[in-house]
Amino acid sequence: DSGVTQTPKHLITATGQRVTLRCSPRSGDLSVYWYQQSLDQGLQFLIQYYNGEERAKGNILERFSAQQFPDLHSELNLSSLELGDSALYFCASSVDWGDTTQYFGPGTRLTVL
Amino acid sequence: GIQVEQSPPDLILQEGANSTLRCNFSDSVNNLQWFHQNPWGQLINLFYIPSGTKQNGRLSATTVATERYSLLYISSSQTTDSGVYFCAVGPSGNTPLVFGKGTRLSVIA
């Protein structure tokens, strides 16, 4: 158990819909990262938050957005879903200095039908 | 950006055999992690190893940062070692990771 929790574990929805994925980082970790794993693109970084502020942006579509709340949990919002958004979405957290191992949650498997 | 190449892409081993997985990266890094993705999709941390050598049971890893590569050694492999092994790197400690495409390992009894 990495200490990072993600909900839900599985999500099945239809094209055009909107979903929210939730992540709670390890206690004390201020950085939260979102990654997407799809069959054709592999594991790709989407977005990073640090202590409530956006710190880095990767290959995140405009239809996707995220935020980190004062209690440090984070949500990833995916809207106008397409078949190609079906993927495993991971959240990771880390401290900001020293041993900055990123610990990954169990992932949310999104299926868009 | 940083490029990460892993080799071999696929590996089939008999139980009890040893193996070496390689990760080459294109630029200097201050974060390098090895992961095992099990058949259920979980990404399990194996090592945080931006430089030097570490060992954990049957697994060990070495990163030679000046030559931009890292090696993961698996000894006396077991069927539970099957899965995909990823190397991921970052230019500094608290930056996003760039993942390689992974090495798919199958250990057969």
B18 pLDDT band (50/70/90 cuts)?
very high
Whether B45 sits inside 8 A of A104 (CB atoms) is yes
Mean pLDDT of A48-61: 94
Confidence of residue A1 (pLDDT cuts 50, 70, 90): confident
Structure tokens at B66: 């000046």
pLDDT for A59 beyond 90: no
Question: Shortest Cα distance from A104 to chain B (angstroms)?
Answer: 6
| CA–CA min distance A45, chain B (Å) | 7
Query: Which residues of chain A lie closer than 8 angstroms to B102, CB-CB?
Result: 42
Q: Which long-range contacts (CB under 8 A, 24 or more apart) does A65-73 make?
A: A66/A34, A68/A32, A72/A24, A72/A25, A72/A29, A72/A30, A72/A32, A73/A22, A73/A23, A73/A24, A73/A25
Q: What is the pLDDT of residue A45?
A: 97
Per-residue model confidence as pLDDT tens digits over B63-76: 999 999 999 999 99
Strand partners, B14: B108
The helix/strand/coil state of B93 is coil
Give the pLDDT of residue A99. 81
Q: How would you label A37-52 residue by residue, b for 16+ Cβ within 10 Å and e otherwise?
A: beeeeebbbbbbbbee
Which residues of chain B lie closer than 8 angstroms to A42, CB-CB? 99, 101-102
Tell me what the pLDDT averaged over chain B comes to: 96
- Coil, strand or helix at B32: strand
Question: Do A98 and B93 lie within an 8 Å CB cutoff?
Answer: yes
Beta bridge partners of A77: A20, A65
Mutate to test the interface with A, among B23, B40, B56, B94 (most CBs of A within 10 A): B94
Dihedral sign, CA of A10, A58, A102, B10?
positive
Strands B69-74 and B59-64: antiparallel
In the prediction, which pLDDT does A40 show? 84
Examine the pLDDT at B93 and tell me if it is beyond 80. no
- Indicate the average pLDDT of chain A: 95
